[in-house]
Amino acid sequence: MLEFRNVTKRFETPGGQEVTVLQDVSFTVDDDEFCVVVGPSGCGKSTLLNLALGLVPISEGEIVHDGKRVESIVSSDVGYITQDANLLPWSTVLENIMSPLEIRGVPKTERRATAREWAEAVGLGKFVDYYPGQLSGGMQKRCSIARTMVYDPAMIYMDEPFGPLDAITRTILQETLLNLWQTRRKTILFITHDLVEAIALGDTVVVINGQPGTVKARIPIPLSRPREIRHLAASTEFVELHTKIWSYLEPGVESNAGELV
């Protein structure tokens, strides 16, 4: 579904200095795979996502999405969930979830029915007439997920979507996302700096570290599915994976102490 081939990204600072953010990044994301990219702040994870989406140009190398080289914004057959919920404040939960279907010209009756199904799927069935300002942060994120999933994109990009949430809400939403993924089987590229989250969610964890960021490892996660996230950390397999991934992150991240949990 997605392939990064020796991707390098350079930016020019306001002072005219050239800075390399990513260097020779190569890895693949298979169809229906839940691929997690983990690394400390400043290693270029979000830049990598923006390159894959075609939001910023590549300096060197290439990215191939569904057999086509990414040279501009990718097709509408992808979803993008950011750190912020980005809901329309003047629209209700139902209206927010319906909005992508309206853009695509889906008949009103059909889009309302589909949006209600997704509201139920993410636990917002009783809140369809609420406005974003009346929702908690976790509920807003649920609405954002439903709004993305409602139009059935083939691939979903997620940029630290649960980062701003408290630990309990984050765990609940991680389990909600996994349940949805288990039944819908989308290809997901998920960005995080949380090792626990990376192991709990992913089929594969791609470790990026350094400045510029480079791929240090691509590690399969053999933990069986379905997964009960709140109990994973107690398992021997989890501890071994955590230790292995950390071994690729520890060198050079002392200055970022506290970023990785």
pLDDT digits (tens, 9 = 90+) for 95-145: 999 999 988 889 999 999 999 999 998 899 999 999 999 999 889 999 998
pLDDT at 76 over 70: no
Handedness of CA 231, 195, 4, 56 (dihedral sign): positive
Q: Is there a contact between 197 and 221 (Cβ–Cβ < 8 Å)?
A: no
Mind listing the pLDDT tens digit for each residue in 162-213?
877 888 888 888 888 888 888 878 899 999 988 989 999 999 999 999 888 8
pLDDT above 90 covers what percent of the chain? 45
Write down the pLDDT at residue 69: 86
Query: What is the rounded distance in angstroms from the CA atom of residue 18 to the CA atom of residue 107?
Result: 50
Spell out the domains of the chain, with CATH numbers in brackets.
Answer: 2-77+155-256 (3.40.50.300), 85-153 (no CATH)
Helices (H), 104-250: 108-121, 137-149, 167-184, 195-201, 229-232, 236-249
Write down the pLDDT at residue 257: 44
Query: What is the rounded distance in angstroms from the CA atom of residue 84 to the CA atom of residue 79?
Result: 14
Query: What is the rounded distance in angstroms from the CA atom of residue 47 to the CA atom of residue 22?
Result: 8
Write down the pLDDT at residue 261: 38
Q: Is there a contact between 16 and 75 (Cβ–Cβ < 8 Å)?
A: no
pLDDT at 45 over 60: yes
Write down the pLDDT at residue 132: 93
What DSSP designation does 135 have? S
Mind listing the pLDDT tens digit for each residue in 227-241?
888 888 788 888 999
pLDDT at 161 over 90: no
Write down the pLDDT at residue 74: 65
